[in-house]
Amino acid sequence: MVDIWIYVQQKDGDIEAPTFGLVSEAKRLMTELDAAGQITAVALGPADESTLSALGTYGVSRVLQVTGKQMHRYQGEIFSRALLNLAHNEEPTCLLMCQSAETEDLAQRLAALLQAALVTRAMDFSMRPDGTARAVRPVANGYLFEEVTLDSQPTPVVSFLPAVLLDTIPDRDTLAAVTTIPLPDSQDLKTRTVEVIEAAPEDLDLEEADIIVVGGRGVGKGDSFDVIHSLARAIGGSVGGTRPIIDWGYLTYDRQIGQTGKYVSPRLIINCGISGANEYTAGMEKSQQVIAIDQNPRARIFRFADLGVVGDVHQILPLLISRIEDQE
């Protein structure tokens, strides 16, 4: 029987939106495979049973939840072993994840343990009844795409770029059965967390950040980008960029937001000198409050903005920063 597994992405006990997009992908694969089967969600950690069983209303048949003292915070060795045990016992058809800092690590560990095929940052993935599987992923920062074929045995691990996962709505009344599997504490770990060191807000991983200041091509070259760092420091935000900023080398690739970069949903995002191309907005449109500053009143970014300011970033941002600093 076809059994497609999806990995439940959680934050503070809530299921994150891309998980529901994975259910859509799983349904699509099920149709492609044209065989009877089920979708299984695998949850590691603290989400409560009612939250998990509600996945049934999206089409998930059952949830396997691994719980234990060591599951409260992501640790690669423990999480990958927990998944390995489940996958060994049940041999799912494939395991789908949503790309994040956590799954970047987890998917690689698990695929190595399973000795299975791995595709990260997938934009498309398909499996055929004859056992062939293929995927498409961007390379060279989205300037090229590669198509790969992969072995469908043992269980391939595929992590999708969040921006390609579609919004999904519940389409049935059924709840999923949740099976809880307690995980005993592991004593034989090769690595142990001894301390958790908080990052300065400016250096926070974009997926974790509450506030993000993003600079685009309109901020300009040379020292011009410093104003984005200054604003981020003044308001305790992290710094992101559009693709031109990464291409110019002012920020590293892990700071790119968009279809081929990071998917973010902070409480506040401030977009500076960004036109709002759909490849960019695909990575930030779930942000709660959006501010945009651009000199072109017709810029597409304003369609997403709760507050839009038309003007030159190099006039507006220094004024804004000095106002904020005056209030401190």
Please tell me whether residue 314 binds ligand FAD under the rule CB under 6 A. Answer: yes
Please tell me whether residue 161 binds ligand FAD under the rule CB under 6 A. Answer: no
CA 306 from centre of chain: 23
User: Angle between the 226-235 and 313-327 helix axes, to the nearest 10 degrees?
Assistant: 30
Subset of 247-286 contacting ligand FAD (CB under 6 A)? 256, 258-261, 273-275, 277, 279-280, 283
Between 93 and 238, whose beta carbon lies closer to ligand FAD?
238
Q: Where are the alpha helices (DSSP H) in 93-183?
A: 101-114
Between 216 and 237, whose beta carbon lies closer to ligand FAD?
216
Considering only 48, 49, 146, 312, the residue that binds ligand FAD (CB under 6 A) is 312
Between 75 and 275, whose beta carbon lies closer to ligand FAD?
275
Calculate the alpha carbon distances from 54 to 30, 65, 67, 232 in Å.
Answer: 20, 14, 18, 38
| Residue span 37-76 as binding mask against ligand FAD, x where in contact by CB under 6 A, dash where not | ----------------------------------------
Tell which phi-psi region holds residue 306, choosing left (phi > 0), alpha (psi between -120 and 50) or beta.
alpha
Pull the structure tokens for residue 239: 């710094």
Pull the structure tokens for residue 41: 């969600």
Between 25 and 294, whose beta carbon lies closer to ligand FAD?
294
Taking the complex as a whole, how short is the minimal distance between the CB of residue 275 and ligand FAD, in angstroms?
Answer: 3
94-98 and 2-7 strand pairing: parallel
238-241 and 211-215 strand pairing: parallel
* Residues in touch with ligand FAD (CB under 6 A): 142, 216-218, 242-244, 256, 258-261, 273-275, 277, 279-280, 283, 294-296, 299, 312-314
